[in-house]
């Protein structure tokens, strides 16, 4: 193969090197727990659409191409565990990686979330609310 042909192959590979079904290493796969909301340890209160919501726990699981996500939100005036007096934010779908960025494609709607990962940490936005969830790998 000539140098020019090799350079052309390298250029094509570099141009196509964007999205993959998952990162090149399975280190990202596994279970994560919600650790903080907007930088505050749990339980954490944040304004969502003008109202305070208290986030008490959550989980995120990544397989090679899919994810599921659940976060417990405490209703005002209750102190019970998730499921009784609580609402849950639940989402599932597929994901892919581009470098250190993950793109979650929701299965329930056409929504997408973009997050970054590294060192066992995933920071996930809560839609367009401005709230950020920090998940830590188990």
Q: Which of 50-64, 101-115, 121-135 has the lowest mean pLDDT?
A: 101-115
Q: What is the 3-state secondary structure (H, E, C) of 66-80?
A: EEEEEEEEECCCCCC
Query: 21-137: which CATH topology?
Result: Lipocalin (2.40.128)
Q: What is the pLDDT of residues 79-115, one digit of tens each?
A: 666 766 567 888 899 999 888 889 999 887 778 888 8
Whether the per-residue pLDDT at 44 is higher than 70: the answer is: yes
5 burial type by CB count under 10 A (0-12 exposed, 13-18 middle, 19+ buried) = exposed
Predicted TM-score (pTM) of this structure: 0.76
pLDDT value at residue 7 = 29
| 65-69: average pLDDT | 91
Q: What is the pLDDT of residues 117-126, one digit of tens each?
A: 888 999 998 8
pLDDT value at residue 80 = 61
**What b/e sequence results for 60-87 when a residue is b if at least 16 CB atoms lie within 10 Å of its CB, and e otherwise?**
bbbeeeebebbbbbbeeeeeeebeeebe
């Amino acid at each position: 193969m000539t140098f020019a042909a090799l350079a052309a192959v390298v250029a094509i590979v570099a141009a196509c090197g964007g999205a993959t079904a998952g990162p090149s290493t399975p280190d990202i796969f596994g279970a994560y727990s919600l650790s903080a909301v907007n930088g505050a340890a749990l339980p954490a209160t944040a304004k969502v659409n003008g109202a305070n919501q208290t986030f008490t726990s959550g989980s995120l699981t990544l397989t090679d191409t899919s994810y599921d996500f659940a976060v417990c939100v405490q209703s005002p005036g209750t102190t019970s565990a998730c499921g009784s007096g609580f609402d849950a934010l639940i989402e599932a779908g597929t994901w892919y990686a581009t470098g250190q960025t993950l793109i979650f494609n929701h299965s329930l709607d056409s929504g997408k979330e973009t997050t970054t990962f590294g060192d066992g940490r995933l920071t996930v936005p809560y839609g367009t609310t401005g709230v950020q969830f920090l998940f830590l790998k188990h």
